[in-house]
Structure 1
Amino acid sequence: MILVDDVGGVFPSINHSPWFGVTLADFVMPYFLFGVGVSVGLVFKKVPNRVDATKKVLLRTIKLFVLGVLLQGGYFHGSHDLTYGVNVRKIRWLGMLQRISLGYLFASMSEIWLVDNSAVESIMAFVKKYHFQWMVALIVCAVYMCLLYGLFVPDWTFERQCVTPSYNCSYTQTVHCGVRGSLDPPCNAVGFVDRVLLGLEHMYQHPLYIITEQCSVNSPDYGPLPPKAPYWCLAPFDPEGILSSLMVAITSFIGLHFGHVLLHVKV
């Protein structure tokens, strides 16, 4: 990721996709989650005590989530600012480590509570052993798709900062939406859910779509705004938000079942 952040603009194939599409860098986080799922499938192949296992999983989840908040919540102010601390009104609750903790929690809970300890001696026995997990995964996918394409996204506003030589100021900017099923940056359901449940102040303040063609003259790298850039280019958007975290569970789930295959399939 250091390579992506430093030279991604020179080599677009390894930089993050500005919005639509996928590049090599976009596989990094899913592979982390996939690895989490595989490890869960191997670790919890036998669960003698479900309550004790649940307590351990919850403790690890909390530790990882809190660590993510400390690292990405706004406590560290940058290499040129030696101050420390955070404004709780603007703390960022979600981030990459928090997302990994949620994937670990989903995979572990499903492995502890939805799987019995019966032996797997055939394909049908394999399906029977894990069919409840597949049902839960399908329900999560259905909920995600319904919310993504079914939620009505109304117009919304955000505070835009302006800096003049004499004083700082801010003004309210309105983003016009009023649509359903949009996947474009300003009016998608993912951002809408985060704005409602988290609030703009607790979201990532440097959204990924700042490198789109509409928002950067150096796209797909960071750069100055084009002369006619839409005003939503400077609005907050969290790439590790609430709704998109549902797909974190599914990615971890896929890794979990790959771990099952490693356990039961003999080559």
Structure 2
Amino acid sequence: MIFVDYAGSVFPFVAHSPWHGVRLADFVTPFFLFIAGISLSLVYKKTSNKLRATQQAVLRALELFLLGILLQGGYFHGVNSLSFGIDVEKIRWSGILQRIAVGYVVAAVCEIWLSNTPRNAGHVGVFFRNYFLHWIVLVSLSGIYLGLLYGLYVPDWQFEVQQANLSDFYKNSTYIIKKVTCGVRGDLGPACNSAGMIDRYVLGIEHLYKKSAYRNLKVCQNTDGGGFSDNLPSWCQAPFDPEGILGSFMTAVTCILGLQYGHILVQLEVIP
């Protein structure tokens, strides 16, 4: 990801896609989550104490979640920053490590509590029946995700933008309010999708990622020079978290899919 962050401006095909489409960097997290699911099938291949195993899984996920807040919550600033510490009113609660933690703990609980025995049955029908509850969880999470994504009504909303005024740099910052017109349902664009609305209501708009990738869309590029102008869509400056709440549903789904592939590997290992 260091290569993506620093080489993405030189090689656009390496960087994250601004919105629609997929690029090289967009494959990293899904494959990592899939591999994490595979590892769970190996770690919990034999679980004698389910309660103890659950405690360990929750503890690992909690440690990863807290590490994500520490690294991506705003504690560390650039070398040229004039401010230090953290503003709890603007701390970023979500991030890639937090998302991995959510997917990990959901898949781990499925493996520990929802796997039937015997696990080494050679018949294909018996094999899938052992993990039938896993597929119920997977389909349920996918259904909830699609229902919220396409079913929620997104009203108009607004956000504050710090005004670029050098005279106020050392004084109280001034802000301007920008409004985004929506009033739609099932929109998949950057401005009016339900994923962003859920994060704004639950996490708070001040706790979302301030430099979203959709700022690199052509519609958000200022042809007159750097920075933003009033001619650009207002949502180009709006915060949006790519690792938000709704996306965590599919994170868990990806981990569970990897878990099922891990079951196949374990099955091939035990079949003579």
Q: Give the TM-score range, shorter chain.
A: over 0.9
Question: Which residue matches 2:158?
Answer: 157
For 1:95 and 1:194, locate their aligned partners in 2 and report how far apart those are by CA, in whole Å: 12
Distance 1:86 1:228 in 2: 33
Distance in 1 of aligned mates of 2:55 and 2:7: 43
Residue 108 of structure 1 and its aligned partner are, at CA, apart by: 0.2
Q: Does 1:260 align with 2:266?
A: no
Which residue of structure 1 aligns with residue 132 of structure 2? 131
Select the residue among 247, 252, 267 that pairs with 2:250.
247
Structure 2 segments unaligned to the other structure (5+ residues): none
- Structure 1 partner of 2:13: 13
- Corresponding residue of 1:212: 217
- The alpha-carbon distance between structure 1 residues 178 and 36, as it changes in their structure 2 partners (threshold 3 A), is same
Residues of 1 paired with 2:268 and 2:105: CA distance?
25
How far does the alpha carbon of each residue in 1:11-40 deviate from its partner, in whole angstroms, 9 at most, with x for none?
A: 222121110001111001111111110100
Aligned pairs (5 A) from 1:42-81: 42-81=42-81
Aligned amino acid, residue 192 of structure 1: M
Correspondence for 1:173 among 178, 189, 202: 178
Map 1:107-118 to 2 at 5 A: 107-118=107-118
Query: 5+ unaligned residues in a row in structure 1: which ranges?
Result: none
For 2:93, the aligned partner's letter is W
Q: Which amino acid aligns with 1:240?
A: E
1:226 Cα offset (Å):
6.8
- Partner-residue secondary structure (3-state), 2:220: coil
Contact 1:214-1:226 at 8 Å conserved across structures? no
**In structure 2, C-alpha distance between the alignment counterparts of 1:226 and 1:172, rounded to whole Å:** 14
Q: Deviations over 1:48-95 (max 9, x none)?
A: 111000111111111110111111111112222375421111111110
Distance in 2 (CA, whole Å) between partners of 1:164 and 1:225 is 13
Aligned alpha-carbon RMSD (Å)? 1.7
Hey, what does 2:85 align to over in structure 1?
A: 85
Identify if the C-alpha distance between structure 1 residues 143 and 264 changes in structure 2 by more than 3 Å, giving closer, same or farther. same
The percentage of counterpart residues that share the same residue type is 48
Amino acid at match of 1:73: G
> 1:205: how far off?
1.1
Matches of 2:180 and 2:105, distance apart in 1: 36
Relative to structure 1, the CA distance from residue 228 to residue 82 in structure 2 (aligned partners, 3 Å threshold; closer, same or farther) is: closer
Q: Secondary structure at the match of 2:245?
A: coil
Deviation at 1:207, TM superposition (A): 1.2
Is 2:206 the partner of 1:233?
no
Distance in 1 of aligned mates of 2:19 and 2:239: 15
Aligned residue type for 1:215: C
Please give the TM-score of this superposition, normalised by the length of structure 2.
0.92
* Superposed CA offset, 1:117-150 (max 9, x none): 3131210111110111001100100000000000
